[in-house]
Structure formats: structure tokens, C-alpha cells
Structure 1
């Protein structure tokens, strides 16, 4: 990372924000990035159609589609010119009855080499660049998933239920750390080509309990610069409801087209979304996937619709709709699936593009008769 990019993160503003975390509208946002290049390429519209190990993130009920053999999923992505590194790994294990599956997922988002400029200015007012050090900030999440298929009288219909128990650990250098706990619940209904999914995230209100390690010298700097001196605090993540539906359009024997739409419902006040009110805000997501012989896949999606000022308007009074686009592709070779996504962390008018790669591996059981 170049020195110019490092200085785009002024520590004098960044650290006090980290250390004063309490009850926030946006909490544990790294858990909203996504998992797997397939889902990211489809604009994160996944709660209805997901059918692999990444369901532990998108909709735990869909883990029941992992049958007969265990499955491993891994993903890596870098954001902000490599400043932010995002990794995901999952293992899904079907149980012997074929109707239940358990899974473990790990997510990590980290930013390294953040300048610590707390002691940049000496007591006499002079600037001493030798006092600058660096630190890392990392967020971890561990998801423990369970899914079960319920018995239905109609063989064309299926109903799946799933749950997540998650443990969160966040750390900002040696200054602050937090542990958090929460739960998700999901359901998936399948009727031939139609699939419907519903997920309640942070259904019991996920919390992070923060503790701080601030020495006397740093406390003095915070006091002189009129920054709050942090104390033990709790950061809450409000519940979110995600509803989605997908449909498979069989074009011919070789080509299949899958379309999915999701609606994210938040209840923590007005947000900049398509539908916004003090009671509920609704954010739509749309994704498409074309499959050729279930071997080659092409995907596209859009999400994160927001109203923003038009950059071409000299008066800055005109607002336009912006969105976050995504494209991707995938290739299957026997029990190996390789996926790629080209996504935008921001929107089409302020692009922050990144490349995402993920790998899916079905652990085929050995035939004992051979």
C-alpha cells in the first residue's frame, strides 16, 4: 500500500470513532458484504435460490441441499485498492439421514497499516513524524448453522428450516476489542420451479460488548483534543428481515435461466432506500443466472438503490437514483466449482470495483467396495 493511500485514513478521526462505539444504527456492517462469488455476482439476491454451503451465510435453511457428501467453500476479495481484505470459508456436513445438515462459516474483514497519529503533535506544538506507528483493525464472525428438511405430503413441495448461532470478535489494534453473540433464522419453500426464502437476521438483537485499553498518555491526548475517553460499552445490531423469491425458466434442454428478487426490511429508522419511513425501510435486490448444461454460468445483479446528488448538476439540487451493479461467471468441473464476480462496493457513479474469486469443493466419498 502506498504512503499516499495510507494518509487517506486520518487516524486522528478514525480512532475516536472506533473507541466510542455504543448504540449504533449501522453495526457489524462487515456481515452485510456477502459470501461467495455467485451470490455477489447476482447482486446478493440469494435467500430463495442458494443451494450450497454458502447458505450458512445467506439462508441457513438451504443448507439441506448439501447432501451425500461434505462441501467446502472459500472466497477472497480485496477492497479499496487492497486496503481492505475480506475472506470467507465454510464447511457443510450432511448428517446420515439425508434430511439434516450442519455447517461452520468463518468471515474476516481486516484493514492493515492504519497510521496512529495520536502522538504526532508534541506537547510544545511541534510535529514529530517519528511518533507515527501503525496498527490493524480486524472483524471476525463465526457462524454455526443447522438445517432440516420437513416432511411434506406432496413430493414436488419442500419446506426447509435453518438456524445460525454466531460469535463475533472485533479488534482495533491494542486499543479496543469486542465480543458479540447473536442468532439468525431462515425458511425456504420449494414448489417445482418456484422457490421462496425468508431470513430473520439478528433476530434476538446481536450485541457487541466493547472493552478498551487506553494508557494515561493517550487519555491526556484525548482530553486535550476534546475527544471522548471511551469506557466499556455495548453496540447493538437491530433485527433485519430478508424476503425473496426465485423462478427457474427452462429455455431448452441445455440452457436454464434463474431470476431472483429480494427485499431487505430494516426497522431501525429511516434509511436511504427505495421505500423509506420511520417505521420500516425496504431495499430491493435483483439477480439473474444463466446456466449452460449446468457447467458454465453467467450472472448479473443490482442492489443498494439510493438517491444521491447529481454530480452533473451545478446547483447540487437535483437528485438521481444510483445503484450497485455486479457481473460474474462460473465453471463446474466434476466436483469442483470456480466462481468469479466483478462487483462495485459503492455505486455506478462512484465506482470502487473489485474482483472476487471463490472455490467450491464437494468432498466425494470413497467407494469402499473398490
Structure 2
């Protein structure tokens, strides 16, 4: 652990030199995974305790009793974009666990019309081609119990690959750190620090392709884009508690404070930190059926007349679990309650131990 922390400190101190810091970078990694969590507006930092914890808070994979896999698929922007996720996690011993996950967000079969008009000014549709743009994130998670009772920690090491057809591509890497604590009253607390060293991306631009498009708009795009960027750290603090009623019914309540260390449109915004709250609920029946709801993404929106209003993002979801197989569904709004960009998200989670019974 000391070696890991030393490496993180060295990376943090050496990578922030003459790079471009982005307020919004690698945003595909902020969408979320697992329909169960999305149905609760992502307010799961404190209570996440399965294979999907590698994304939400790696400390949570310590709650696994056996090997577990998860899959998710979603269509975004009227089926233009495809979002896919797969994960595996397992305990190592009674004090540690590890996991691996993959995220892909891509738009395929985009028309490349940069060569539509030939050198003589004629339109030639045979010169139109197709390309894809895709973002990949691979995350390795490791978690371990701390000597303090009730405390667990987890670390993510992630590799990011982004491809824009033949025009440009990038590699990136970064680290996350997660903590969880449960007291004797069964209150759960969680802290997730994303991109704690800032996540570094370096881009490679295909200059031959760039030469073909740089004069598409006269006087614009005459210089190559910046080839490196840093993603600022983010933090999520959460708490939750599960209540039981008559042995058959449960109610899990959860809340998150999502923090960015930059000034944004979040409902609480300063020059140092911006905070966006989220709350979620899960009603369960005999650990078989689940009904979920949540609200988050509170934003201050400036109107055309310079007045402001608060927008928010509502979510609902359902889940069913039987003999180690859980299927979840979420209806989630990509933007806020005033936009009709709702997406249907499905995910499945399987305890691999069922195949040995």
C-alpha cells in the first residue's frame, strides 16, 4: 500500500506541468453503470457492495462472497450512441478482493463528408466514407480491509483509450481511491475520490487527415489541436441506511454529495468547489423484487431573459433477483426533467457460485 501511495504522489507532482486542464474531460466515465444504481440517481457511494463497486466505490467489492459478473447495455441520443459495460470481481481472501471492468461508449457509421467535393468543385458521393468514434475505459480494482473496525478501502487503476476514426486517438491513465465505513447502528458512509492524481490523456493527431479538413472553414482550424489534457479530481460523499419491516420488506435510503473542484452550474457553486446532491430510494420485497427512485443532477439554468431556474434529473427503476441472477431496469433522463431524452437501461448481475451448487 505504501508503494501505491508513493506512486500516486509522484504522478500527481510530475504530471501537472504545462498541460491543459479540462473542466470536462473523459465524460463518458461519469455516466454511470448498473441499472440498479442509475434508478437511484447514482446515490450509491456508501452502500455499493457488488461487482459494480469497482466503478462506484472499489471498497465495496470486499462485500462479495463469491465470483460475480455484470453486463449492461444502453442506447443514448435516439439510439445514435451505444454504451456497454462488463465487469468481473471476486474475493481473494477474507480481507481483500479484486475486480476488472470495461466501458465502451461509441458512435458508429458516421458519415465522413470531408472529401465530398473534389478539387474541381464537383460533388461526388462516392468520396463519402464511414468512420466510428469510441471511448474505452479499462479499470483494475483492488480492495482491502483496514485495521480499524468497519473501515474498508479500495483503489482503481484505469487505462483510457479514445479513438476518433483515422483523425485522432489518445491514451490516458489515472487512479481513484474509495473508502467505506459502517457503524454499529448500520449506517453506512462512503467517500469516492476520482482522478485523485488528475487523469492524464495524450492525443496523437493524424496530420495527413488533418490537412484534408483544416481548410473546410476558411481561417478556422489552422493549428493542430492540443495534444494533452488533464482531468480534474472529483469527489463523492455518501451515506445510507437499510430499514426492515416485518421481515419481508426493506427500504434503503441513500444520499450523495457530488463535488467538482471547479466552478460549474451545480446548485452549490463556488470558485473552489461545486456540489450537486442526489437522493435515492430502494423498496425491496423478500430480496426478490425491487422498486427504485431517485433525483439528482440539480443545476442552475440561466434562461433567455437572464432569470435562472433549478433543473433536476429524475430516475426510476425495477429489479428482480432469483437464485443469484439479478436483472435490473432503469428509466433515466440524460439531461433534466424538461428534456425528453429518456433512456432505457438494462443490466444483469450473476453470482457465479450458483453453477457449483
Q: CA deviation at 1:128?
A: 4.1
Shift of the 308–219 alpha-carbon distance from structure 1 to 2, 3 Å rule, reads closer
User: Contact conserved, 2:327 with 2:347, CA < 8 A, in 1?
Assistant: yes
User: Contact conserved, 1:189 with 1:197, CA < 8 A, in 2?
Assistant: yes
CA RMSD of aligned residues (A): 2.1
Unmatched 5+ stretches in structure 2: 1-18
Q: Distance in 2 between matches of 1:337 and 1:102?
A: 21
Q: 1:242 aligns with which of 230, 233, 236?
A: 236
Q: Distance in 2 between matches of 1:220 and 1:274?
A: 39
Q: CA deviation at 1:36?
A: 0.4
Q: Distance in 2 between matches of 1:228 and 1:222?
A: 10
Q: Distance in 2 between matches of 1:94 and 1:221?
A: 55
Corresponding residue number in structure 2 for 1:37:
35
Corresponding residue number in structure 1 for 2:45:
47
Shift of the 366–113 alpha-carbon distance from structure 1 to 2, 3 Å rule, reads closer
Deviations 1:210-253 (A, max 9, x none): 00113175165358452143256111100111101111122331
Q: Distance in 1 between matches of 2:43 and 2:214?
A: 48
Segments ≥4 residues shifted beyond 6 Å: none
Corresponding residue number in structure 2 for 1:57:
55
Q: Distance in 2 between matches of 1:222 and 1:366?
A: 58
User: Contact conserved, 1:219 with 1:229, CA < 8 A, in 2?
Assistant: no
Matched, 1:270 2:267: no
Q: CA deviation at 1:360?
A: 0.5
Q: Distance in 2 between matches of 1:316 and 1:81?
A: 30
Corresponding residue number in structure 1 for 2:200:
207
Corresponding residue number in structure 2 for 1:168:
160
Indicate the SS of the match to 2:207: coil
Q: 1:346 aligns with which of 332, 335, 340?
A: 335
User: Contact conserved, 2:175 with 2:194, CA < 8 A, in 1?
Assistant: yes
Q: 1:117 aligns with which of 113, 116, 134?
A: 113
User: Contact conserved, 2:193 with 2:233, CA < 8 A, in 1?
Assistant: yes
Corresponding residue number in structure 2 for 1:305:
298
Matches within 5 A, 1:128-277: 128-152=124-148, 158-191=150-183, 192-215=185-208, 217-218=211-212, 221=215, 224-230=218-224, 233-267=227-261, 269-277=262-270
Q: 1:76 aligns with which of 73, 76, 79?
A: 73
Give the TM-score normalised by structure 1.
Answer: 0.86
Matched, 1:295 2:288: yes
Matches within 5 A, 1:17-36: 23-36=21-34
Deviations 1:311-353 (A, max 9, x none): xxxx634322111111001001111011111101111101211
Corresponding residue number in structure 1 for 2:7:
none
Give the TM-score normalised by structure 2.
Answer: 0.89
Shift of the 22–361 alpha-carbon distance from structure 1 to 2, 3 Å rule, reads same
